[in-house]
Amino acid sequence: MATTADEHHPGGAPAHPAGPGGEHPGHEFTFIVNGQEQHVREPRVSFEGVVRFAFPQPPSPQTVFTVSYRDAQSHPSQGDLFPGEAVTIKQQGTVFDVFPTGKS
């Protein structure tokens, strides 16, 4: 269940002594989409998946959302995410923002 999360983690990933994220397929990966904590079992998170977390009932199937991420396992660890793309997240601490950016 999604809960409100504090975005102000200390820089980088929280400590996880067993190794970097991605080495424990049985573990959940915890990340944040638009301020809400989310969990997945696999570390690859797609643009489409992030949008579904942010907008479970999309306002319109044609909306092209603007997605940015930071503190990811992927290199680069931050940037923009586009339809058809995915990033590898850390076990904890990767943050996504998802907005329709159509206002002027």
Partner 1 sequence: MSSQLVSRSHDLQRLVDEGYGVRIQGGHLLLEHIPYLESDGTVAHGVLISELNVSGDETQPPSPHTAHFTGIPHEGPGREMDLIIHSVVDQEMVGGLRVRTYLSSKPPSGQYSDYYAKMTQYAKVISAPARAVDETATARTHAPVIVDEGPFRYIDSASGRAGTAALADRLAGGPVAIIGLGGTGSYILDQVAKTPVPQIHLWDADVFHAHNAFRAPGAASLEQLNAAPRKVDYLAEIYARMHRGLIPHPVYVDAANVAELTGMSFVFIAMDASPVKQVIIHALQSAQTPFIDVGVGLAVRGDRLAGMARVTSGFPGRHEHLEKAITYVDEGENEYDRNIQVAELNMLNAALAVIRWKKYAGFYADGVGEAHSTYTVAGNMLTSSFGQS
Site residues for partner 1 per CB under 8 A: 4, 7, 34-35, 55, 59-60, 62-66, 68, 70, 78-80, 82-84, 95, 97, 99-104
Task: Please list, residue by residue across 44-57, b when 16 or more beta carbons sit within 10 angstroms of its beta carbon and e when fewer do.
Answer: ebebebbbebbbee
Q: In the complex with partner 1, which residue's Cβ is closer, 14 or 68? A: 68
SS3 call for 92: strand
Per the CB < 8 A criterion, the answer to whether 54 and 34 are in contact is yes
For the bound state, the minimum distance from the C-beta of residue 69 to partner 1, rounded and expressed in Å, comes to 9
**Rounded to whole angstroms, how far apart are CA atoms 74 and 87?**
6
Q: In the complex with partner 1, which residue's Cβ is closer, 14 or 23? A: 14
Q: In the complex with partner 1, which residue's Cβ is closer, 27 or 35? A: 35
For the bound state, the minimum distance from the C-beta of residue 13 to partner 1, rounded and expressed in Å, comes to 15
